[in-house]
Amino acid sequence: IAGLLPVAVIVTYTTSGSTSLRAARERPIPPILSMTPSLATARCLALVWGVHSVQTPDVSDVAEMVEHACRHAVAEEFAKPGDTILISAGMPFGTPGATNLLRIATV
């Protein structure tokens, strides 16, 4: 999907790091912004190809996730207002290896 749409950044919400690893394995053109509540996971993901990792507070619902993703994409200078971003996560939140959500959002 990232190759078909003009996506500025792929944002992955991950607890264990597996969502970001799966995205990086495909070597997408847009950069990957990995957001995790775990400092240890953020540090490990800093070594993965194409991944910029930040530690963030945990989110409780999809609307909060989209808002955090847009805010951090702009703050980390991956996107600007009006850009399209791709958000990937697992539901329910905090379940390792359960990536089953893909959301396209406009900053």
Q: Domains plus CATH for the chain?
A: 7-106 (3.40.1380.20)
- Write the pLDDT tens digit of every residue in 40-65: 999 999 999 999 999 999 888 889 99
Q: Over 80: is that where the pLDDT of 23 sits? A: yes
- Say whether pTM exceeds 0.75: yes
Tokens of 79: 């996107």
Distance CA 63, CA 59 (A): 9
Mean model confidence pLDDT for the chain: 88
Cα–Cα–Cα angle for 71, 105, 13, nearest 5°?
65
104 forms beta bridges with 86
Helix (H, G, I), strand (E, B) or coil at 4: coil
